[in-house]
Amino acid sequence: MLPNFLKQRAYLTPNRIALISQGTSLTFAGLYEKAKETARKLSSCGLQAEDTAAVLLNSRAETVIILHALQQLRVRTLFLNHRLTPAEMQYQLTDSGAKWLITEKSFREKAEVLNETATVIQSEALDDLPAAGYEERAEFAFEDVCSIMYTSGTTGKPKGVLQTYGNHWWSAAGSALNLGVREDDTWLCAVPLFHISGFSILMRSVFYGMTVYLMEKFDEKETAKLLKSGRITTMSVVTNMLQRLLRELGQERLHPNFRCLLLGGGPAPRPLLEACAEKNIPVFQSYGMTETASQTVTLAPEDSLRKIGSAGKPLFPAQIRIVSDGKVCGPFEHGEIAVKGPNVTIGYLNRPDANQKSFRDGWFFTGDIGYLDDEGFLYVLDRRSDLIISGGENIYPAEIEEVLLAHPDILEAGVIGVEDEKWGQVPAAFIVTKRAVQERELQAFCETRLAKFKIPKKVYAVPALPRNASNKLVRRKLLELLPS
């Protein structure tokens, strides 16, 4: 139980800048006032405590205000990834029982399709709505669910990860003790708010009293300019963004005020890290997932090259261990990465099966494979369930395979990630078919069912898929079938 987060922050440091977005800024007092105003509008629409509302919104000040308004109302927020198809979104709305969809004009087409599943509220129309009262919460309970983000897994269907207010607090507190907190910190948010990497920045802002500089879409030119200006101290990126930023920077250096580039979303190639070290860019590699409410393991820049390839050590409140055959592994032994800590999700929504599988003795089993070295640094060898990370987006082969198998002519399907210069990885599909199917035809088939980044960039017809003794697909062996 802590005081109402935004209310407390607005009380403690009313005049500090909370948000800079599209050239305008908002103090914490201003943000709180606007959030309450929006909460009254949403209340007049009928939103009530414990409802779930989906948001399909771009990264703008209005969105931040809406997200805080939902917290003030104690409405759970379901974050929709913009790139999902209406069918994928519909699944999440239905599964989460979201009654509401708050969206904006630019998503009109998708929203029209979802109109039947949830009551759509246009953010542009909020101003004209009447205001209604609601009970202001003096305190936020740690165990209350704040946000829901869907993530896939081995079983195909995405699962809703429940993130509590406590999860967000602990994630922010752990990060603060690791990265430090300074009064003049400004965190550049150019990652999507619908990913935990973005939303966690908004939560930290309230706990720390820290300015967020919100960029609607990552732009390397604008980013380079900002990072040279001294106005930004911290930024979250994925590998692809860092590559583009480095290219843009050329021979130029960042301002010494800039003290942390938090790198998430999969492993970084060595040459990239070396280029950063050479330019004195303070890269903090990290390991985390939706289920840990952002980074839970982080590597300090001073260890960046000494421990190349490592994701670092846990945040203070968090623990990691490697487990193999039910036993905790010693140094350098490979096994499944298990994590523990108050930042770890309380579980998946409506998925007792997945919860039973993932949680054992208070530990969350990530499905990722890795090891700890003799100093306790974590090395991630294989992302869980053959996870494909493409430009910072997580793609689960099983989800794509399920769609492919729905095609009448496909008998078997296996998907893996293949290297891609721009995105790190892209999905490639291997299929066993009744009759010849064209790659283009299959991609078109996927288009209405899968977000664009999930559509296989290459499709290979093969006579059979590699399977193990229990007839389970061995995705890793698909790599050997790739034409060289």
182: part of which helix (H) or strand (E)? none
Nearest to 450 by CA among 397, 389, 410: 397
- Residue 427 near residue 400 (C-beta atoms within 8 A): yes
Does 3 help bind a copy of itself (rule: CB under 8 A)? yes
Rounded to a whole number of angstroms, the minimum distance from the CB of residue 296 to a copy of itself is: 12
- Residue 474 near residue 467 (C-beta atoms within 8 A): yes
Does 317 help bind a copy of itself (rule: CB under 8 A)? yes
- Residue 166 near residue 99 (C-beta atoms within 8 A): no
Stretch that binds a copy of itself, among 125-133, 237-245, 310-318, 391-399 (CB under 8 A): 310-318
Does 264 help bind a copy of itself (rule: CB under 8 A)? no
Nearest to 119 by CA among 98, 105, 133: 98
Does 346 help bind a copy of itself (rule: CB under 8 A)? no
Tokens describing residue 465: 């898929």
Does 30 help bind a copy of itself (rule: CB under 8 A)? no
Does 168 help bind a copy of itself (rule: CB under 8 A)? no
The residue from 182, 306, 434, 467 that contacts a copy of itself (CB under 8 A) is 182
Rounded to a whole number of angstroms, the minimum distance from the CB of residue 82 to a copy of itself is: 32
CB-nearer residue toward a copy of itself: 91 or 365: 365
Does 327 help bind a copy of itself (rule: CB under 8 A)? no
Quote the CA–CA distance of 384 and 290 in Å, as a whole number: 13
The residue from 316, 333, 356, 422 that contacts a copy of itself (CB under 8 A) is 316
Does 332 help bind a copy of itself (rule: CB under 8 A)? no
455: part of which helix (H) or strand (E)? none
Q: How remote is the C-alpha of 169 from its chain's centroid?
A: 17
Does 474 help bind a copy of itself (rule: CB under 8 A)? no
446 burial level (CB within 10 Å; 0-12, 13-18, 19+): buried
DSSP symbol at 451: -
Give the number of other CB atoms < 10 A from CB of residue 334. 13
The residue from 181, 323, 346, 462 that contacts a copy of itself (CB under 8 A) is 181
CB-nearer residue toward a copy of itself: 4 or 25: 4
Residue for token pair 């592994």 = 329
Helix 196-208 vs helix 61-73: crossing angle, to nearest 10: 70
Give the number of other CB atoms < 10 A from CB of residue 427. 26
The residue from 136, 141, 180, 422 that contacts a copy of itself (CB under 8 A) is 180
Does 177 help bind a copy of itself (rule: CB under 8 A)? yes
Does 342 help bind a copy of itself (rule: CB under 8 A)? yes
Quote the CA–CA distance of 354 and 10 in Å, as a whole number: 39
Count of residues that bind a copy of itself according to CB under 8 A: 27
Give the number of other CB atoms < 10 A from CB of residue 165. 22
Here's the x/- map for a copy of itself, 7-26, by CB under 8 A: it reads as: -xx-xx-x------------
Does 319 help bind a copy of itself (rule: CB under 8 A)? yes
Rounded to a whole number of angstroms, the minimum distance from the CB of residue 3 to a copy of itself is: 5
Quote the CA–CA distance of 343 and 78 in Å, as a whole number: 18
Stretch that binds a copy of itself, among 80-88, 201-209, 225-233, 278-286 (CB under 8 A): 201-209
Stretch that binds a copy of itself, among 178-186, 245-253, 380-388, 474-482 (CB under 8 A): 178-186
CB-nearer residue toward a copy of itself: 7 or 475: 7
- Residue 199 near residue 79 (C-beta atoms within 8 A): yes
Q: Which of residues 203-262 bind a copy of itself (CB under 8 A)?
A: 207-209
Tokens describing residue 178: 């690791």
CB-nearer residue toward a copy of itself: 266 or 301: 301
Stretch that binds a copy of itself, among 78-86, 99-107, 170-178, 273-281 (CB under 8 A): 170-178
Residue for token pair 């969206």 = 103
Rounded to a whole number of angstroms, the minimum distance from the CB of residue 185 to a copy of itself is: 9
Q: Which of residues 361-420 bind a copy of itself (CB under 8 A)?
A: 375-376
Does 173 help bind a copy of itself (rule: CB under 8 A)? yes
Rounded to a whole number of angstroms, the minimum distance from the CB of residue 450 to a copy of itself is: 40
Does 97 help bind a copy of itself (rule: CB under 8 A)? no
Contacts of 239 (CB under 8 A, 6+ apart): 263, 265, 266, 267, 268, 269, 272, 392, 424
CB-nearer residue toward a copy of itself: 107 or 377: 377
Quote the CA–CA distance of 285 and 226 in Å, as a whole number: 21
Rounded to a whole number of angstroms, the minimum distance from the CB of residue 409 to a copy of itself is: 53
Quote the CA–CA distance of 434 and 461 in Å, as a whole number: 11
Exposure on the CB side of residue 334, measured as CA atoms within 13 A: 6
Tokens describing residue 313: 């050590």
Quote the CA–CA distance of 383 and 394 in Å, as a whole number: 10
CB-nearer residue toward a copy of itself: 45 or 300: 300
CB-nearer residue toward a copy of itself: 328 or 406: 328
Tokens describing residue 56: 């399909």
Binding site for a copy of itself (CB under 8 A): 1-3, 8-9, 11-12, 14, 173, 176-177, 180-183, 207-209, 313-314, 316-319, 342, 375-376
